[in-house]
Structures are given as structure tokens and as C-alpha cells.
A and B are shown apart, each in its own frame.
Chain A
Amino acid sequence: MDACPSDARKFIGEATTVGELMTQILKDRAFYEESGGGVTFSGGEPLTHVNFLIQMLQACRKVEISTAVDTCGYARKEDVLEVAKHADLFLFDLKQIDDEHHRALTGVSNVRILENLRALAEAEAKVWIRIPLIPGCNASNEDINAFGQFIASLPKRYPVWLLPYHELGRHKHERLGMPEAPLFREPSHQEVAQAAQILRGYGLDVHTRNPS
């Protein structure tokens, strides 16, 4: 990669240590302090690197930088609960409540995911639930009502973010040399508003980000 003088080819991703990563994080500390922001651990799936993740969370807490973990929830319950002890916030994705439908879309069952969310609620962790709203996959009235029912049933009330599908990630398929991805469409403003209304009917605090 170094051989290319114009930086036309580069690796995405590099190996790093807790110390090196903390050095990078600390560079922008003045900005987090002013804005009330912090570090979000995302991916991929951060819970596939539980030990490293926990070390990073501890290191951030030590210097009073707030942390968030962005996860799909498909991990061992013990790991989730352990991480919950050290993180300030979870950004927890929910894709589909119906298990069969979930398998068809993602290849795995959602039982573990839903259990983990419930366990976090029981442990009183701070969580923001995020639902990627994708017409044709999880945006029917039935789907939305299932979301509402499930989230309302949790022992702790969590806010919900509806994230409408967008096309911005398409170029990644090309760059990764992947075959043409299945085509989804972006939901309309009305569809998003409608889904939000249904969820609010369950007494939930719902935030929407409209398709740009």
C-alpha cells in the first residue's frame, strides 16, 4: 500500500492496542467536553471483541469520557451484561420481532437478541433502541405493532429511534467486490410518520430521522 504514490489503494482497518486507540480518542477530548459527546464503539459487531471492548470502556471511564456501544445484540448474555457494567449507553438494534422472518432476513434467530434486551432492561442499563425501517422487510403494520408490543413489555422504558433505510451504503458493495445487493426502497415521510405514530400508541418515546 505504501508503494502506491497516489494513495489509490489502501487498507481499510488496522490492528491497534488499547494505548494507541486511547491516544487517538484523547485528541478530541476538548470537543467532547464542550458538546457532551464521547466515544461510540461500533463495527462490525463490537461484542465479538469483548475483552478489548471492556478494556477500552474502562480506559475511557477512567478519564471521564462517556461511552456508547452500538450492537445488534447477537451475543452471549454474560458478555452483554458484563459490558453493561462499563458502558454508559447501548445503541441496540432491533430488526424484526417475528423469529421466522428474522431468520429469513439475517440468517439467525432473534431469540437471543430479545432476551439480551430484556436482561439489559432488568439490569436497568441505559439503552436507545434503534429500528432500521426497511419497507418490505420490517415496515408493515403487523411488524410495527410487534415492535411496539415487545418494547412496551420491557421492565424499563426505552426511547426508540426509527432509522429509515437509505442508499448511501451501496458503494461499499462495489468496493468489497460483492455481487449486486438486493434492492430495497427508501420509506416515504408518511410511512415513517405512520410507523412512529403506531409506536407512540404503545406509550413509547419515538424519534425519527427522515430520509434525506
Chain B
Amino acid sequence: MTDRVKALRTRSLEALPSISAERAELMTRFYKENDGKYSIPVMRAKAYYYLCEHKTIYIGDGELIVGERGPEPKAVPTFPELTCHSLEDLDILNTREKTSYVVPKEARDTYASGVIDYWRGRSMRDRLFEVLPMDWQDAYAAGIFTEFMEQRAPGHTVADGKIYQKGLIGFKKDIAEAITKLDYKNDPRALDRYEQLQAMDIAADATILFAKRHADKAREMAKTASADRKAELIRIAEICERVPALPARDFWEALQSYWFCHLAVVTELNGWDSFSPGRFDQHLIQYYAPAIKSGAIDYDRAKELLECFFVKFNNHPAPPKVGVTAAESGTYTDFANINIGGLTPDGKDGVNDVSYLLLDVIDEMHLLQPSNNVQVSAQNPDAFVKAAARVISHGYGFPSVFNADAVVQELLRQGKSLIDARQAGTSGCVETGVFGMEAYILTGYFNLPKILEITFHNGFDPRTGKQLGPQTGEPETFTTFEQFFEAWKTQVNHFVDIKVKGSGIIERMFGKYAPAPFLSILIDDCIEKGLDYNAGGARYNTSYIQGVGIGTITDSFSAIKKHVYEDKLVSLPDLKKALDTDFADLETLRARLWNKTPRYGNDDDAADDLMRQCFDVFFQAVDGRPNGRGGEFHVDMLPTTCHVYFGSVMGASPDGRRAQTPLSEGISPVQGADRHGPTAVLRSAAKMDHLRTGGTLLNLKFTPGALSCEEGIARLAQLIRSYFRMNGHHVQFNVVTADLLREAQADPEAHRDLIVRVAGYSDYFCDLGLALQNEIITRTEHESA
């Protein structure tokens, strides 16, 4: 690590996340002056142009890659046109213990003196809650599901390699051509398309302007800079004049070009999962390889540039969320995710020198962001898998590991073409999508165990006191296990119906009122179709519902099957009473349910068959349903931090879990339920049909001792290959001891840099809420066998 990178890294780590009201102020001002003058897409593009024209330009000391989202590192802009924070919200953000954001007085004053007033009734969130049906709102409030788009834009997509060769000027040409092709005579929507394409053109100009303003600033700073820095600033100015308008000519320009596009996407809207450069090693190798050969760049310089690039991601905490959305994703991580390895478009080994370079960068930087992962195919060499295993063994939770071959099959099943499927990867936590051409939008988490509680109460929710579901029968009426399971199935379908209906409304709202003209430029086939990314312009338009708690629901049904219907230890009504009182005075019963139930995660078909049944219920309820953007709904199985929130809104469960405690996370077994080692966990997990999902998330935990030597690394690599042979989608590794975590709990200051794997992303252990910390500790630790 060069001194420059050390300094940039330290500055990034030390900066406190804060709110900047600059964007809110500019946006409000522009809307006040111009609302009503333009079509909605053009209005959005012009507002974005206004931002690019007026927002603060920041170039930090020693930076080689420039451009910030806010006025300075870790200053996060707000998006009042989507969700306008109240003064109470700002105060909560400023003072809450976890994931807090400093709210400077000026920011609060800006909000108090006009922002809040203007956006009341105008923000997307306000509009949404006006039109969403009551059954949706009740289920949402009860914690049956969450809603991603009640505070943030859809997002959920990743860049491909077009920008490097095309430049935004190249895209402008495509836009102009699409405009000439509009058929006003026969296409009733030709005028809408024209407005959309015009908006994209304006957005391209806005981003080019934003980049050029950096050139101006760099030249200004060069006037008073030291000799060395002056030369750098002049080069930076040159680069910012050129990209992203024109194609990148070298490695440095490629990085900067992507970065300006990234900033554009996250300035225009606050889409989920930020934005990602995709299969970065495959995009960068065409710049790296010739430069190394000619001597224009060497390994160290390329590493330095990449490390400067990485710091930029770390300067971007997630836009602040409040309420349920904060609880479901309680982290600063914004989920930009870099893919390494995998397949080339013609299906061959995609690993190259930049792949190993990126692994070195990850290993050296130990930053929270960007997230990063390796895509492992049978085509990729063992050396690559082992190199990744070595980084994993250092214990920061990175990189996570994905099955590139399974990803291709998942997308083929969804109807994508083979060439497109190979250009896919995973982003966010574990979600699968085709980079550069798919809008694979996650709509929210789905609380499978909570629905069991609803079933126990004949469709009634004891916590909110409302009848949320149909009356499927009181516990006394279920004489067989199958009948009770059917009742749960009926309830699941009922709530999926509600969720899907609500999503239809939300999609249309975003499509109409909050288009993303800049993002639409980068994602095929928006220009060709003249349609916005949020309105179905992409080649593939997918919606996802994320299933949470498969471990808990499986073990719950296993307990009911065995103890109620087979051994007749307790009747279903008595079990319901026990759950309602959180096992008051019934510790023996609870211990029995907890210890004497066949549990998922132990390679025991008695439990694992039930897991499959539960999965199938969820899958059949969701998969293949049409969405409003010309695509379909599919499932994925990941929680982020929602397993903690979802557990908190329900009582005890039949597997002996106590009231309000977290559910199982991802597709991992219930914390502590696996007693037969990691191979048994992997075998249980592999019994789920991963290829029918759009991503699954499995956490495994090892102590440092298990992986400390080459033999341990080799074993880790083999474990990964074995799981992927069984079509597992993803696995990630936590390599810390439970003792160390307890130490960190007791003394957070001494363990500030302790990063652990949460669920599809890593986070600082000390930033996690207490419930989540404890949950991670109880996740099973596998001693080296």
C-alpha cells in the first residue's frame, strides 16, 4: 500500500457519515421554479442537470480517482422527492446508536425552512401510501413483508462493458438514432418515447458537464499545488475532459469513466444496491494487458489506482433509511459489489491477471465497501479458487463465493439467452442478473415463519390485533399434519397475492413519476425501446420477493409433525397456548422441542424434506407471476438484516425459538441447530433446488485455526467446489472466534476494525445492533475436524 493510499484509506475510515442537504435544497429549488413546464422524464433529467451544474465539486488531497456523491467523503445526499425525512427522522438519524448520520445544523435548517413543506404530499412515499390498499398496509405494518421501494428507487442493476468503448457521446448517437426511428403515425406512445429519449440525452449532457467541472477544479487546484501534485492534477483534468464523454484510452481513464457513471446513477436516484462495475476483471484486462506489455503501467501502479478507486466506494455510506426499511437493512453498506472471475461470453474461463490483482487489492485494503465476490465455475482454475480462499482465511468476510455455472442455469431457466446468461453475475447480497441489460428488482422480504403464527391464529395477527389473512381454521380442527400445512400454504398464497398486487401499483408509480433517464442510457434495451429503466425498458425485467426464515419454518413444521402428530407429546391447541405465552413455565416442553426435533442443517431427510416442501410452497406462490414491466416474479432467499426485524414482530415458534428473537438467516440452519459439521450443513442446503431461485445465501463460520495453513486453504477450496457440484448458489465465510466477538461486544473501541460477514455483505461488528451481534455469535462455529 503506497503512502497515498494509506492516507486516503485512513481519511475514509475516520470520516463520519453525515447528511448533506445540498441535493435536497437544489432539487426543491428547481422543482419550485419549473414544475409543470416539462414532461415528467424531461423534468427529472433537467433536475439532474441542475444538480450536476450546481453541486459542490470535491477533489481530495492525493486522490487519483475523483468525484463524490455529496460535498465531501461520507456526506450522503437525500432524495426528498422519493422520501422526505421529517425533522424527527433527522433527529433519530443524528442520535441513534447504530448506523447514525451526523445531521449538521444547516442541513436540519434547510429541511425546516422549505424542503419538508414542499415535498409533503408530493414525495413518492406520500403518494404510495395514498394508493396502496389497506390489506397491503396492514400486512406491511404487521411485518409479514417489507417494501423496498417505500424509501428508495428500484435500482438493482449492474453495469456491463459498453461505457468503456462507447463513451456517453456514443450513447447520444444511439439516442439520436432512436429518435429518428420513432413512428408517430402508428405508435400511440411515440410522443412518450420521444420525451424519454430526450430526457436520456439531457442526462448524458449533465454527466459530461459534471465531469468537466472536475477538470476545471483540478486545473484551479494545480495553480497552487506542489510540482508532483500539479502534474497529477493536470492529468486528472485531462481525464475529466475526456471521460465519460469519450471512450477510455487507458486503465486510469477506464476507472474514472466508470466512476463518473456510478456517481451519475446514485445522484439521479437512490436506487437499491448502488451501482456496480460488474465483471470488472473482464472489462479492465483490455487496458491492463497491453499497458503491462508496453511498460506504460506496472503492477504496483495499477494496484495503486485500483486502491484509490476502492476508497471512493467506501466514502459512500448508504442513503439514510428510517423505520422498517432501516431495520431490514440496518447498515452503512450500500451494496456496490465487484464480480471477479466467472465465465466469458463464449463460456470460457474468465479469470485473468486483473482477477488476481483485484484479490490482492481486497486483501490489502480491508474496507467495508465495495462488496466483492468471486464467481467460480468448473472452468476456472484451482489456483484462482485457492487465491480467493487465502483472502477469505484472513477473516474479513470477503470475498463471498458464487457458483458461476449455477448462475447461468438459473437465468436460462428464467428464459434468458445463453450468451446473455453468461454475462450475468451476482450483485447486492446474492442476487442473480444479467449485467447491462436486466432490471432485477427486489421488492421486499417475506416473513415465512410469521405466517405460521398467523395460521395458528386462524388468520389473525396477535401483535397488531387485526384479521390479516383468511380463516383457515382453529388449531383444534387440524386432525392431520397435512391439513395444518395446507392452511399455512393458503395463508402464504394470500399474502403473496397482496404483495404482488401492491408491487404492481408501486412499479407503475415509479415508472410514471420517478424515471431514471441516466441509468436507462446504460442498460439495454432502454434506448432502443424508448422506455425508462423503471418502466420496463431493460431487455429483461424481473421482480423478486425474498424468502426469509426457511430454517425456522422448517424446524417449526418438523417439531409440529413429530411432537404433535407423531409422538403426541402436545396437542396443537396446547402448543399454540405455549407459543402465545412464550413457553411460560413450560421450559421442559421448550427444551424438548428445541433438542428432540429433527432439524434442517444436519443432512437429515426427515427435516430436509420438510424444507423442500416449505420452499415449494413459497416458490409456487411466487414464481412466474407476471409483473407490470413485461417480466416475471421469482424468488430468492436472503435476509440482509431482516431476520432480526422479522423475529422481533412475532412470538415464539414451535421449534423452541423464544418470542421476538431473530429468525434463521439466509438458507443457513437455525443458529446452533447444526450439530454434524459443515459438510452436513452444505448437504442440507444443497437439497433446496437453487437453480429455481435467483440467489440463495449461506453463511458458514470457521475459527482461524481451521484455515491457518495451506492444507486448510486447500480444504476450503475443495469444500467450495463440492458444494457447487451440488448446485449450491453461494457460500460465504466468517472466520473469527466467538470469544473474539464477545470481546468486541464488551470493548468495541478496541475492535473498531472487526469486520464480519452479516448476510451477503460484510459490516463492522461494532456497528451492528445488539440483537444482530448476538445472532452472529450463536451462528455455529465449526471447529476443524
Q: Taking beta carbons and an 8 Å cutoff, which residues of A are in contact with B?
A: 2, 5-7, 27-28, 30-31, 33-35, 212
Check B683 against A27 for contact (C-beta < 8 Å): yes
Across the interface, A31 reaches (CB within 8 A) one of B595, B596, B714, B718, namely B718
Is B219 interfacial (CB 8 A cutoff)?
A: no
Chain B residues near A28 (CB-CB < 8 A): 679, 683
Distance in angstroms between the alpha carbons of A205 and B683 in the assembled complex: 37
When C-beta atoms are compared, the residue in chain A nearest to B603 turns out to be: A27
Check A34 against B591 for contact (C-beta < 8 Å): no
Contacts A5-B591, A212-B705 given; indicate if A30 touches B725 (C-beta within 8 A): yes
When C-beta atoms are compared, the residue in chain A nearest to B721 turns out to be: A34
Is B592 interfacial (CB 8 A cutoff)?
A: yes
Check B726 against A35 for contact (C-beta < 8 Å): no
Closest 10 CB pairs of A and B: A5-B591, A35-B718, A5-B592, A34-B722, A31-B722, A34-B718, A7-B595, A6-B591, A30-B722, A34-B721
Q: A7-B596, A27-B680, A35-B715 are known; give 17 further A-B pairs, CB within 8 A.
A: A2-B596, A5-B588, A5-B591, A6-B591, A6-B595, A7-B595, A28-B679, A31-B679, A31-B718, A31-B719, A31-B722, A33-B722, A34-B718, A34-B721, A34-B725, A35-B714, A35-B722
B669-724 residues with Cβ-Cβ distance < 8 A to A are: 679-680, 683, 705, 714-715, 718-719, 721-722
Distance in angstroms between the alpha carbons of A60 and B489 in the assembled complex: 43
Distance in angstroms between the alpha carbons of A33 and B725 in the assembled complex: 11
Chain B residues near A2 (CB-CB < 8 A): 596
Chain B residues near A27 (CB-CB < 8 A): 603, 679-680, 683
C-beta contact mask, B555-594 vs A, less than 8 Å → 1, else 0? 0000000000000000000000000000000001001100
| Chain A nearest Cβ from B688, distance in angstroms | 16
Chain B residues near A33 (CB-CB < 8 A): 722
| Chain B nearest Cβ from A83, distance in angstroms | 25
| Chain B nearest Cβ from A31, distance in angstroms | 5
| Chain A nearest Cβ from B468, distance in angstroms | 34
Distance in angstroms between the alpha carbons of A155 and B719 in the assembled complex: 38
When C-beta atoms are compared, the residue in chain A nearest to B705 turns out to be: A212
Distance in angstroms between the alpha carbons of A112 and B447 in the assembled complex: 65
Chain A residues near B596 (CB-CB < 8 A): 2, 5, 7
Check A30 against B726 for contact (C-beta < 8 Å): yes
| Chain A nearest Cβ from B237, distance in angstroms | 53
List 27 A–B pairs whose Cβ atoms lie within 8 Å, in order of A's numbering.
A2-B596, A5-B588, A5-B591, A5-B596, A6-B591, A6-B595, A7-B595, A7-B596, A27-B679, A27-B680, A27-B683, A28-B679, A30-B722, A30-B725, A30-B726, A31-B718, A31-B719, A31-B722, A33-B722, A34-B718, A34-B719, A34-B721, A34-B722, A35-B714, A35-B715, A35-B722, A212-B705
Chain A residues near B680 (CB-CB < 8 A): 27
| Chain B nearest Cβ from A84, distance in angstroms | 27
Distance in angstroms between the alpha carbons of A212 and B714 in the assembled complex: 19
Name the residue among B588, B683, B722 with the largest chain A CB count within 10 angstroms. Answer: B722
Chain A residues near B679 (CB-CB < 8 A): 27-28, 31
| Chain A nearest Cβ from B559, distance in angstroms | 13
Distance in angstroms between the alpha carbons of A34 and B679 in the assembled complex: 12
B706-762 residues with Cβ-Cβ distance < 8 A to A are: 714-715, 718-719, 721-722, 725-726
| Chain A nearest Cβ from B63, distance in angstroms | 45
Distance in angstroms between the alpha carbons of A172 and B596 in the assembled complex: 25
Chain A residues near B683 (CB-CB < 8 A): 27-28, 30
Chain B residues near A212 (CB-CB < 8 A): 705
Distance in angstroms between the alpha carbons of A30 and B679 in the assembled complex: 10
| Chain A nearest Cβ from B425, distance in angstroms | 24
| Chain B nearest Cβ from A16, distance in angstroms | 16
C-beta contact mask, B587-626 vs A, less than 8 Å → 1, else 0? 0100110011000000100000000000000000000000
Distance in angstroms between the alpha carbons of A28 and B678 in the assembled complex: 11
Chain A residues near B595 (CB-CB < 8 A): 5-7
Distance in angstroms between the alpha carbons of A27 and B588 in the assembled complex: 33
| Chain A nearest Cβ from B389, distance in angstroms | 13
Distance in angstroms between the alpha carbons of A6 and B596 in the assembled complex: 8
When C-beta atoms are compared, the residue in chain A nearest to B595 turns out to be: A7
| Chain A nearest Cβ from B576, distance in angstroms | 20
| Chain A nearest Cβ from B406, distance in angstroms | 15
Chain B residues near A5 (CB-CB < 8 A): 588, 591-592, 595-596
Distance in angstroms between the alpha carbons of A34 and B595 in the assembled complex: 33
| Chain B nearest Cβ from A35, distance in angstroms | 4
When C-beta atoms are compared, the residue in chain A nearest to B590 turns out to be: A5
When C-beta atoms are compared, the residue in chain B nearest to A29 turns out to be: B722
Distance in angstroms between the alpha carbons of A6 and B588 in the assembled complex: 8
Chain A residues near B718 (CB-CB < 8 A): 31, 34-35
| Chain A nearest Cβ from B677, distance in angstroms | 9
Chain B residues near A34 (CB-CB < 8 A): 718-719, 721-722, 725
C-beta contact mask, B252-284 vs A, less than 8 Å → 1, else 0? 000000000000000000000000000000000
| Chain A nearest Cβ from B488, distance in angstroms | 26
Chain A residues near B603 (CB-CB < 8 A): 27
Chain A residues near B725 (CB-CB < 8 A): 30, 34
| Chain A nearest Cβ from B649, distance in angstroms | 28
Distance in angstroms between the alpha carbons of A212 and B709 in the assembled complex: 12
Chain B residues near A6 (CB-CB < 8 A): 591, 595
Distance in angstroms between the alpha carbons of A212 and B683 in the assembled complex: 31
When C-beta atoms are compared, the residue in chain B nearest to A27 turns out to be: B603
Chain A residues near B592 (CB-CB < 8 A): 5
| Chain B nearest Cβ from A125, distance in angstroms | 25
| Chain A nearest Cβ from B601, distance in angstroms | 14
Distance in angstroms between the alpha carbons of A28 and B683 in the assembled complex: 8
| Chain A nearest Cβ from B249, distance in angstroms | 44
When C-beta atoms are compared, the residue in chain B nearest to A6 turns out to be: B591
| Chain B nearest Cβ from A211, distance in angstroms | 13
Name the residue among B705, B718, B725, B726 with the largest chain A CB count within 10 angstroms. Answer: B718
Distance in angstroms between the alpha carbons of A31 and B725 in the assembled complex: 9
Chain A residues near B726 (CB-CB < 8 A): 30
Chain B residues near A31 (CB-CB < 8 A): 679, 718-719, 722
Distance in angstroms between the alpha carbons of A212 and B784 in the assembled complex: 13
| Chain B nearest Cβ from A37, distance in angstroms | 8
When C-beta atoms are compared, the residue in chain A nearest to B686 turns out to be: A30
When C-beta atoms are compared, the residue in chain A nearest to B719 turns out to be: A31
| Chain B nearest Cβ from A38, distance in angstroms | 13
Distance in angstroms between the alpha carbons of A27 and B608 in the assembled complex: 14
Chain A residues near B722 (CB-CB < 8 A): 30-31, 33-35
Distance in angstroms between the alpha carbons of A122 and B758 in the assembled complex: 56
Distance in angstroms between the alpha carbons of A209 and B714 in the assembled complex: 17
When C-beta atoms are compared, the residue in chain B nearest to A36 turns out to be: B718
Distance in angstroms between the alpha carbons of A30 and B687 in the assembled complex: 13
Distance in angstroms between the alpha carbons of A5 and B591 in the assembled complex: 5
Distance in angstroms between the alpha carbons of A143 and B591 in the assembled complex: 53
